[in-house]
Amino acid sequence: MNLNLLHGVVGQSVPRVDAEAKVLGKGIFIADLFFPRMLYARVIRSSEPHAKITHIHLETARLVPGVPAILTAEDIPGRNEIHVVFNDQPFLAPGRVKYVGEPIAVLAAESPEIAEEAAEKITIEYEVLPPLLDPLEARWHPDIHLFGKDNIYRHLKVRKGNIEDGFARSDVTIENEYRTPCQEHAYLEPQGMVAVPRPNGLMDVYGSMQCPFYVQEGVATVLGLPLSRVRIIQTATGGAFGGKEDVPTLVGVQAAILAQKTGRPVKLIYSRDEDIISTSKRHPGIIRYKSGAKRDGTLQAIEVEYILDSGAYATLSPVVLWRGTVHAGGPYRIPHVKVDSYAVATHKVPAGAFRGFGSPQILFAAESQMDELARALGMDPCKIREKNLLRLNDETITGQKLTFSVGNLEAFQKTVETSGYLKKRNQKKETPGPIKKGFGLSSVYYGVGLGAGGIHLARAGAYVQILADASVQFAVGTTEMGQGMATVLTQIVADELGLPFDAVTILETDTSRVPDAGPTVASRATTMSGNALKDACGKLQESLFRAAGDLLQISKESIQIKEGWAVDSGKPGHRMTLKEVIAECFKRRENMAAAGFYRSPEVSWDDETGRGNAYITFAYATNAAEVEVDTETGVIRVLKITAAHDVGKAINPQLVTGQIEGGIVQGMGYTLTEEIVTKNGSVQNPNFSTYIIPTIKEAPEIDPLIVEAPFPNGPNGAKGFAEQPLMGIAPAIANAVYDAIGIRIKELPLTPERVWAALREKEGRDKRSSH
Amino acid sequence: MIDLKFTVNGKKVQLRVPGAKRLLDILREDLGFLSVKEGCSKGECGVCSVIFNGRVINACLMLACQADGSEITTLEGLSKNGKMDLLQEAFVETGAIQCGFCTPGLVVASRALLNKNPDPTEEDIRDGLSGNLCRCTGYTKIVAAVKAAIEKESNTRRGDS
Ligand code: FES
Ligand code: FES
């Protein structure tokens, strides 16, 4: 740490830098952007899950006045390819469709109404083919091949110890199959982009997105342009949660190819049902999980098979699967491990990134298993967790030794103590009447950043300049989508340069301002861009310290900068304003602009051995859920969730608690109501009256708690964590439901119908056994 | 086409629009009130909330012809002479804003609620805002913001008297 810096605003809950524009309702979102002569786009999509396209009838649509362009796969100037991890996904279906909602054609019209009219006049003839809709059927299917010869995008494994020994040494083993649903992101702002052609073949694309550099690559590839002619500018993004990781590439290219063809700006905003039908979601999961432990509760072994229903193109599934696989054991010491996981192709809308990225599914199983083990051993679920939690210098299931920043036990203890879990559980009385109360726990951990699964992207650039009036502008390549990055990074820059918070301004994320920073995913923005900014600020500090030292006539080593002042550390009264110091720098013609760069520390992964140092570090959390189950209706009410998260350092505690609260309620939706239902591959509930997300009425009381086990490589000790709040909610609630009614439900969501049926089944069993 | 007269944020407006045009589009496109958002187009998310003759409605469900003669307040009408409504201040201070897409609708719905009932219970608050979805915040800080605004408003009232 640089001793010349005294911290001012880092660690404080300053209001968000974007709060004012948002609370005043300024037109900062993509739908609010208008350009002269702008056209409106529509996408024509497949109605079939699997079919050959035999004919596309465009003639009648072409007769509609005011439709300057209708394009199909044949009209693509560059390559018909959207690269995510593999290159299997076309931009427009080339003669064959693989999911309902797959884009076949795009058109641009003078108004949204004309666009709709023309779109309705396009008819497509298909030769329908049999679809594969069940991943268990699709895996290794002999005849129908969506991907390779086995329909498996990726098979991964983890191996540790000796699995036979592990179970032989176990006094109890528990084996179950769990199923998790397809979850929709339901960001409130639908996908949208505006493409604006510029002179000399340049293309600007504005929009709602997490990963501008992905969009840049997609636009360049499909339009046949060099990357240098494509500029992507992120507009305020109304929620994303992973749903705006790879999908906006498609949306951006859809707008851009029409803009290129017509030479006019083109706007494309998805309707809600179009968005739900055609964009990525959380993978449905099947998890077969066997766990073994000794009589005293010490975990011995896990054997897991993990299957993700991945949809018609690979998109992010290979890396989603990787994160899930690495997280299979939860935050525990387990000596013997065998995990096999499969991302399987099916004729459904491709599943993709969603907060937690393949881990919530497997953690639901892992944490339900922990409670089942505890029950079989007659232990409290609290005790078995405490006994096995990873501590400093322990090894994860992939063999990574944890040598720093392990706030696992501390988060666990904080949650257990603050929630009053033990007391509440022990004092719980059998209540008369239909309402039963229950308490449940879950502990989870989260590998920060892309890890070895995406190490080639694990770098970030930044740009900082101090202006003559002592204000600062900076830019990064990661994005703000509501999570608070812009504010946190502004706090870091303010402290690094010793200037007041409001002297610092973050510019919109624009691919022409900074080098490729990789995607804004995996809770990586604070650590990656934060470190790149520190690098840039370090260069500017040199000039500041030199000038201040000369002006105060002391050595530059004894200068401290803070909140607008340069101070003589030996004599605090001896000081001058940074304004004067900066004026001096300008007089000396110092370079007051600096580029910064950060490369994440090395990580490793070996597909063959299923081992590696998967992540740069981990965040940790324990959740305690308090629920009521109505045994007459099957309705679950979540009363309260207490959750402590080890975040390394809370740069802005209010933003941290905001992430905890938001993740919890999204996780509660995943647990209780949210499920995308498909029939013959077609989404049946593409709106908010049939796809039910939590409202303010169901939102529980939340007690968010912060633990800080500093991460030595993080800016100010911080590590990313904002996905983690969602990850353990399903098992915490399911464990509480078990505590309330003695029923283990192994399939999400825990709808009243499912709970009610389980209750009646148990009643039947109880009655039979009492006779 | 119909001739339409109504009041928005205290100003009278007169327009000629297709009778089936949605109030949402009139407010956004014809009048430039961009705080009114579109999230679902079906009355299910509340991001298009405006105050219509004193009660909250979804502008995506209302047609031009129904708006004639009405009095409408959008979020733009809440801040006066560059000064935020106390609710807006409270949303900023309590951290009730993340992505901000739901914020205009929530502030408007909260305003309508407090106009009717200056001292609501927590349950009244949750009932009053149950038509406004937020996918980011988990709602905790939104409830806190409304409570903080109530506190601020009762202080100003006390201060006034
Ligand atoms: S857009 Fe009007 S309620 Fe959703
Ligand atoms: S802040 Fe994003 S939807 Fe509410």
Answer yes or no: is the C-beta of B139 below 6 A from any ligand 2 atom: no
Indicate whether B39 pLDDT > 60.
Answer: yes
Q: How far is CA A315 from CA A222, A353, A672, in A?
A: 16, 9, 28
Residue A158 lies in a domain: no
Give me the CATH topology for the region B86-156: DNA polymerase; domain 1 (1.10.150)
Q: Give me the residue from A27, A188, A694 closest to B102, CB to CB.
A: A188
Answer yes or no: is the C-beta of B62 below 6 A from any ligand 1 atom: no
At residue A366, the 3 state secondary structure works out as: helix
Answer yes or no: is the C-beta of B38 below 6 A from any ligand 1 atom: yes
| Tokens encoding A137 | 């059927």
- Select B2-76's CATH number: 3.20.190.10, 3.30.70.1290, 3.10.20.30, 3.40.50.720: 3.10.20.30
> Do A440 and A506 have their domain in common?
no
Average pLDDT over residues B83-110: 98
Give the pLDDT confidence score for residue A5 in this predicted structure. Answer: 64
Q: What crossing angle do the helices spanning A381-388 and A359-377 adopt, rounded to 10°?
A: 110
Closest-CA residue in chain B for A241?
A: B136
* B76 inside 8 A of chain A by CB: yes
Would you call B107 and A23 a contact, using CB atoms and an 8 Å cutoff?
yes
Answer yes or no: is the C-beta of B40 below 6 A from any ligand 1 atom: yes
Answer yes or no: is the C-beta of B107 below 6 A from any ligand 2 atom: no
Out of A566, A599, A632, a domain closes at A599
Closest-CA residue in chain B for A21?
A: B100
Other C-beta atoms lying within 10 Å of the C-beta of residue A608? 7
Q: Report how many domains make up chain A.
A: 3
CA distance A14 to chain B (A): 8
Residues β-bridged to residue A598: A460
Distance CA B88, CA A21 (A): 11
Same fold, B2-76 and B86-156: no
Q: How far is CA A165 from CA A170, A338, A374, in A?
A: 9, 12, 21
CA atoms within 13 A on the CB side of A380: 13
Residue A12 lies in a domain: no
Residue A627 lies in a domain: yes
Residue A170 lies in a domain: no
Closest CA to B132 of B109, B100, B148: B109
CATH at A502? 3.30.365.10
Residue A338 lies in a domain: yes
Grade residue B160 by pLDDT with cuts at 50, 70 and 90.
low
At residue A218, the 3 state secondary structure works out as: helix
Distance CA A548, CA A646 (A): 38
> Do A410 and A261 have their domain in common?
no
Residue stretches of chain A with pLDDT short of 50: 1, 3
* B22 inside 8 A of chain A by CB: no
CB contact residues (below 8 A), chain B span 129-158, against chain A: 129-130, 132-143
State in Å: Cα B108 to ligand 1 middle: 13
Distance CA A483, CA A494 (A): 19
Q: Count the helix, strand and coil residues of chain B and give each as a percent rounded to the nearest 5.
A: 40, 20, 40
**Which ligand 1 atom lies nearest to the CA of residue A688?**
4
Give the pLDDT confidence score for residue A572 in this predicted structure. Answer: 82
> Do A59 and A87 have their domain in common?
yes
> Do A532 and A637 have their domain in common?
no
> Do A681 and A749 have their domain in common?
yes
**Nearest alpha carbon, ligand 2 atom 4:** B134
Give the pLDDT confidence score for residue A7 in this predicted structure. Answer: 67
The continuous run of DSSP H or E covering A663 comes out as: helix A653-672
Are residues A159 and A611 in contact, defined by beta-carbon separation less than 8 angstroms?
A: yes
> Do A250 and A333 have their domain in common?
no
What is the domain partition of chain B in residue ranges?
2-76, 86-156
The predicted complex's ipTM stands at 0.97
CB < 8 Å to B138, chain A: 658, 660-666, 699, 702
Mutate to test the interface with B, among A23, A244, A270, A660 (most CBs of B within 10 A): A23
Residue A480 lies in a domain: yes
> Do A537 and A554 have their domain in common?
yes
Give the pLDDT confidence score for residue A1 in this predicted structure. Answer: 39
Answer yes or no: is the C-beta of B96 below 6 A from any ligand 1 atom: no
CA distance A565 to chain B (A): 27
Out of A580, A599, A618, a domain closes at A599
Q: Which residues make Cβ contacts (< 8 Å) with residue B11, sequence separation at least 6? A: none
Pocket test for ligand 1, best of B22, B33, B41 (most atoms within 8 A of CB): B41
Residue A424 lies in a domain: yes
> Do A677 and A756 have their domain in common?
yes
Segments forming the whole domain that contains residue A565: 19-27+459-599
At residue A448, the 3 state secondary structure works out as: coil
pLDDT above 90 as % of chain B: 91
Distance CA A493, CA A533 (A): 7
> Do A248 and A102 have their domain in common?
yes
State in Å: Cα A724 to ligand 2 middle: 18
> Do A368 and A464 have their domain in common?
no
CA atoms within 13 A on the CB side of A225: 23
Going by DSSP bridges, is the β-strand pair A230-234/A202-207 parallel, antiparallel, or unpaired? Answer: parallel
Answer yes or no: is the C-beta of B39 below 6 A from any ligand 1 atom: yes
Q: How far is CA B103 from CA A186, B33, B91, B92, B110, in A?
A: 16, 14, 8, 10, 10
> Do A475 and A516 have their domain in common?
yes
> Do A619 and A587 have their domain in common?
no
State in Å: Cα A757 to ligand 2 middle: 35
Give the pLDDT confidence score for residue A4 in this predicted structure. Answer: 61
Answer yes or no: is the C-beta of B136 below 6 A from any ligand 2 atom: yes
Which residue stretches of A84-190 are H helix? Answer: 112-120, 135-138, 163-168
Out of A207, A240, A269, a domain closes at A269
Considering the entire predicted model, what is its pTM? 0.97
Distance CA A532, CA A520 (A): 14
Closest CA to A657 of A722, A731, A720: A722
* B98 inside 8 A of chain A by CB: yes
CA distance B111 to chain A (A): 13
